[in-house]
Amino acid sequence: MKIQIRAVSQISPDQSVICIVGKDEIPSHIVLNRSEKEYALRRLSENDEYVFVNSYYKCTYFVKANTELPHFMMLEEIRKRASSMKQLIRANNHTEIVITSEGLSEDVSEAFAEGFILSIYSFRKYKTKEEEKEKGRYPQKILLHNIKNKDKVLWLSALCEAVYMVRDLINEPPNFLNAPALAREIKKIGNSAGFTVEVLNKGKIEALKMGGLLAVNRGSIDPPVFCILEWEPEGKVNNRPLVLVGKGVIYDTGGLNIKTGENMSQMKADMAGAATVAGIMYVMAKCNIPLHVIGLVPATDNRPGGNAYLQGDIITMFNGTTVEIGNTDAEGRLILADALSYAGKYKPELIIDIATLTGSAAMTFGNKAIAVMGNADEKYFKLLEEAGNMVYERVARLPFWDDYKEMLKSDVADIKNVGGREAGAITAGKFLESFTEYPLIHLDIAGTGILKKDDYYRIKEGPGSGLRLLAVFLKWLASEMEKR
């Protein structure tokens, strides 16, 4: 679904409008007759979730913002309100709709547009009946009234497009989207946005001795890939790049420690981290953010066939570290570890990895927060927390003490890939830390990246968790660097 977002300076009397207000008042630029105004004002004073006025030739929707909330929470309430209104808006069969606000900041209108667009996504590529392929009668044009900064419109458009791309990748069935197919899709995204993509095939991966990626791939008939995405704009503000690493486990059966029951049903989404990295690079390039960013995506499926790796195996990683395999379902950290070691060749200022990594993170925070940990400078965590609040992809920090690394000691190798049931999310992060000498932030999106039911505009068909968070983080980081 392609939705066009444009800024407009005027609203014509016959246009359908969504008007967000902070008080019980009708703005002068909203044309209603006397009885319609009286009705709308009465309903606003009763604090209804929204007010709908049908003038037959147009529709007017009023949404009252709760200005008593902290600003970031008010914006999230507006996004959720947009999601709640999607069926009503669809029923009225608009081809376009104007979003405006009165007495509020511009980002209120943007938040409504964002929540609405992200809530109406659907994946219908494989529907064969025409009525099922129908994408709905949602507006194909969203017009933002009185948005003076056109860059904001470009940003919102790129951000929503990127989330849709990530969701499309997550929803592709594994019989279509194996590792080489993911690499092809990432190349298409790079070509459309303007960042470069290099794909290392299995032969190159073997030559580089990426033992983690190769071990996880041993049970699959499909070869692994290692994708290198790069956005290096003219006028970049950083001397050393930032590196993003995304977990690209195309489908995770658990390997020989095979998953049971419902635990496997959503595992085509185990490559959400990889898709998110591609989506972030899309936003960086589309919006010409002056930051040198490199994305690394190791990709394979994890299956129990063929010569699948075993509990008790000892493998040698890209950086020469030996790892004792304690569980073949702890595969994501193995492919990420090779990528983190490889990232060292760029001498990065910061590495951020994002992965649907541990059930421990999901059990700890549910779908309400992204687990975050690492050894990077405190300024990065502070900025990440602020960005998380702004887009309401909040982060919750876990301790990262070296005591937890003791749980990964092996009697027969340098390190084990699991540390036991206790503190599983943290020991996974400490495992990753062992494979880089550069500042690291680790984001575990297991709870937020794979949902069992819709959470307003974060839909179960691939919420795209972490994309908006990291895109805003990088945008703000670039802005701070420009001021130095």
Facing residues of 249 across strands?
A: 300
CA atoms of 275 and 109, how far apart (whole Å):
28
Which stretch of DSSP H or E encloses residue 416? strand 415-416
CA atoms of 309 and 214, how far apart (whole Å):
9
| Tokens representing residue 209 in the block | 């001795």
Facing residues of 315 across strands?
A: 323
Q: Name the DSSP class of 239.
A: S
- Beta-carbon neighbour count of residue 243 at 10 Å? 29
Catalytic residue among 218, 333, 405, 468: 333
CA atoms of 245 and 353, how far apart (whole Å):
4
Q: What is the dihedral angle through the alpha carbons of 460, 461, 467, 472, rounded to the nearest 10 degrees?
A: -70
Cα–Cα nearest to 115, from 175, 59, 50: 50
CA atoms of 227 and 141, how far apart (whole Å):
35
Q: Is 71 helix (H, G, I), strand (E, B) or coil?
A: helix
Catalytic residue among 37, 187, 259, 460: 259
Q: Reply yes or no on whether 333 is catalytic.
A: yes
CA angle 190, 181, 367 (to 5 degrees): 80
Q: How far is CA 137 from the centre of its chain?
A: 26
Which stretch of DSSP H or E encloses residue 59? strand 59-64
8 Å CB contact between 220 and 301: yes
| Tokens representing residue 304 in the block | 């129990």
Q: What are phi and psi of 72, to 5 degrees?
A: -65, -30
Q: Reply yes or no on whether 453 is catalytic.
A: no
CA atoms of 251 and 267, how far apart (whole Å):
5
CA atoms of 168 and 122, how far apart (whole Å):
9
Active site residues: 259, 333
